[in-house]
Amino acid sequence: MTELLTDRDIEDARLTEWTVVEKSITRIVELTSFRAAIEVVNRVADAAEEADHHPDIDIRWRTLAFTLSTHSAGGLTQKDVDLARRIDALIAN
């Protein structure tokens, strides 16, 4: 069973670009074009498949919203923190 993280754990993870929304974390990012947004989505899809952990992805023109939670645990786990960090790195590149 993947351990649920405490609020303190999430604070300590210092995911400064992410917002805690109930039992998930969300990041919204605006890219320079729709194509650029889809390129990021495809890279995140590869990372999600590698991690076997998948964000909810909302695509609105060039604005993306990623939402992470561990469905099987009913909240936030280290898997969400790890993938959030990978998404941050993909967006930064």
26/44 Cα distance (integer angstroms): 14
The nearer residue to ligand HBI, 40 or 44, going by C-beta atoms, is 44
Contacts for 20 with CB less than 8 Å, ≥ 6 apart: 7, 10, 76
* Strand partners for 64: 29, 59
Applying CB under 6 A, the site for ligand HBI has a residue count of 8
Of these, 15, 44, 70, 81, which contacts ligand HBI (CB under 6 A)? 70
Residues 40-59 as x/- pattern, contact with ligand HBI by CB under 6 A: ------------xxx-----
Q: Are 78 and 5 in contact (CB under 8 A)?
A: yes
Query: Using the rule CB under 6 A, is 22 a contact of ligand HBI?
Result: no
Binding range to ligand HBI, per CB under 6 A, among 7-15, 30-38, 64-72, 85-93: 64-72
37/29 Cα distance (integer angstroms): 9
Contact set with ligand HBI (CB under 6 A): 52-54, 68-72
